[in-house]
Chain A
């Protein structure tokens, strides 16, 4: 039997807790006032009601860890001991989070939590306390197959790529399907390519074995070792094909591409990153994409966390939906920067499945309560999870990806 004493270890085992954080993030940790206002907006709190895994509690615990390793007492008398269980509980709390960033958006100080939580996860990985469960296999799986799902590259495009799609060898525009879209949300990527075909501008797609993971699952689970290699491979491949605009429909992919690829690449990217809705909206404005069919339905659009709070793309999806003749656009109570996570974020959806399903059902329930005919999504992870949440749920609504919808109305 293990005694409590055995579960404790010197706090400096693994060194400083502050190594992987920027000065700003350290200040953010100091700046939390513990007011608890963010709990009102936390989707994990909505479904668990457990304040021990809430944002201020995670920050408080991390402060304790810093104090134990770098505080006055530890400097005078050597590092104290940290209960191993406390570290494990903290690690679980950090990984149970969907990293949606709603807490940061509502933070009374303005802490950028959508960025802070992944960096705390990275620290847990460094100390051997993260990631959780199957997330630990992601790096090896990506090394072996190029994607986090362990699916063969040969199946990346073939099951869904519309017939007659003409892929250029070299062009100013490229389309990156992304692993989740290609393997788990195929109606979505089929819709993307159908819309690109309709715009009739030449576009590049990398061969399936070259279109590897964008790195987001590694980044978000705190496993950063492979990131630079993946980013360099992808950027070099697109650069070699004279790409000037890289289009993608996955918010997680576009987030890491726009925010972090330049850091891992070491300089500014040689191309712009655009979400598919931005590209489609420009094409609609330019008259290159015309939505001909009418749709007399009430549509409610869910803002994906990494698209709205992450990179600020909020109006373009709405503009595309408003361009559908006859359609009425509804809004969730919490929309745009305040949107509520559907439960699919943070690579937590397959580990904390029940939480994710419960969050997905909150989204479905609100859409049904608003009397929407269709729930419109624009994220493959949301698409996969909300569809899963619908199975066996007493309220039902038709879930459609935005480009899937548009491609059916051309």
Chain B
């Protein structure tokens, strides 16, 4: 069982990097063929990047479009980031001080993450929402279960943290050791492995597009007007 979990973990890890590499290859090939570009007129990248920070950090465009969805989406993403940062303590030795300082925020974020996901999923089922693709539910459901099992471990069925860290560090260092004997941890970890292939790529590309959108917006006034 332990060996199988380790083998699957490495498979998922490898598949993730292959997937990312293939996407990078596609982007690279498209970048090489400059003749196909129809960029439109855009403003400066630096200015756009600085103003787009607000768009990226606070999901300004979503806020303008739907406040209801924004509450759930922003709370989930912020909580998810904190929870991921908190989990870095299992991957790093020694644990950096900033990660140690973040632990309390990560714990609180865990309690925000699960209801935020439930709220977002609920919003998608409301009448009037015309577009929902099943994969969205799958990802939301997986994240919900990962969060819920995490909370259960934190409050009721605590695994041996030394065993958890040994297991994770072993995986990272390619010197795998047996996973902890806590069933809930096995479920939690397996769900994470199941999530990785479905990780939406917008987490990597959306910030770039948000900067470009700002740049385009700043450049719009220059398309048909003299530069000021």
Contact = CB atoms under 8 A, between A and B. Distances in A.
Contact of B209 (A31, A37, A66, A272): A31
B29 interface: yes
Interface string B177-216: 0000000000000000000000011101110111011101
Contact of A311 (B28, B205, B223): B223
Interface of A: 18-28, 30-37, 39-40, 45, 49, 51, 54, 56-57, 60, 66, 70-72, 75, 106-112, 115, 119, 254, 258-260, 263, 272-275, 278, 310-313
A258 B220 CA distance: 11
A272 B223 CA distance: 10
Contacts of A24: 39, 208-209, 212
B61 A110 contact: yes
How many B residues are at the interface, by size bracket? 35 or more
A30 B15 contact: no
The DSSP consensus for interface residues of chain B is: helix
Nearest to B27: A23
Interface stretch (B92-100, B126-134, B151-159, B167-175): B126-134
A109 B52 CA distance: 11
Contact of A75 (B22, B38, B204): B22
Nearest to A56: B131
B160 interface: no
B224 interface: yes
A13 to B, nearest CB: 19
23 contacts: A18-B29, A22-B37, A23-B31, A24-B212, A27-B205, A33-B206, A34-B131, A35-B69, A36-B130, A37-B65, A37-B66, A37-B69, A39-B130, A51-B130, A57-B133, A70-B26, A106-B65, A109-B210, A110-B209, A110-B213, A115-B38, A259-B223, A273-B224
A313 B224 CA distance: 7
Contacts of A259: 38, 40-41, 223
Contacts of B28: 23
Contacts of A310: 223
B40 A108 contact: no
Interface centre among A19, A27, A110 (most CB of B within 10 A): A110
B59 interface: yes
B224 A274 contact: yes
Interface centre among B26, B205, B206, B208 (most CB of A within 10 A): B26
A32 B69 CA distance: 16
Contact of B224 (A23, A28, A111, A254): A254
Given A22-B30, A273-B224, A311-B220, A49 B210 contact: no
Contact of B223 (A20, A54, A258): A258
B101 interface: no
A112 B216 contact: yes
B130 A109 contact: no
Given A31-B205, A115-B40, A312-B224, 5 more contacts: A31-B201, A31-B206, A112-B216, A275-B224, A312-B225
Contacts of A21: 30, 36
B130 A54 contact: yes
Given A72-B15, A313-B224, A66 B129 contact: no
A71 B197 CA distance: 13
A109 B130 CA distance: 19
Nearest to B15: A72
Nearest to B120: A35
A75 B26 CA distance: 13
A31 B226 CA distance: 32
Nearest to B226: A272
B78 to A, nearest CB: 16
Contacts of B223: 258-259, 310-312
B52 to A, nearest CB: 9
Contacts of A45: 130
A335 to B, nearest CB: 15
Contacts of A106: 65
Contacts of A107: 61, 213
B29 A22 contact: no
Nearest to A262: B41
B19 interface: yes
A254 B223 CA distance: 10
A47 B29 CA distance: 39
B62 interface: yes
A110 B22 contact: no
Nearest to B59: A108
B213 A30 contact: no
A148 to B, nearest CB: 20
B223 to A, nearest CB: 4
B35 to A, nearest CB: 9
Nearest to B70: A108
B201 to A, nearest CB: 4
Contacts of A23: 27-28, 30-31
Nearest to A106: B65
Interface centre among B135, B201, B209 (most CB of A within 10 A): B209
B23 interface: yes
Interface string B62-74: 1001100100010
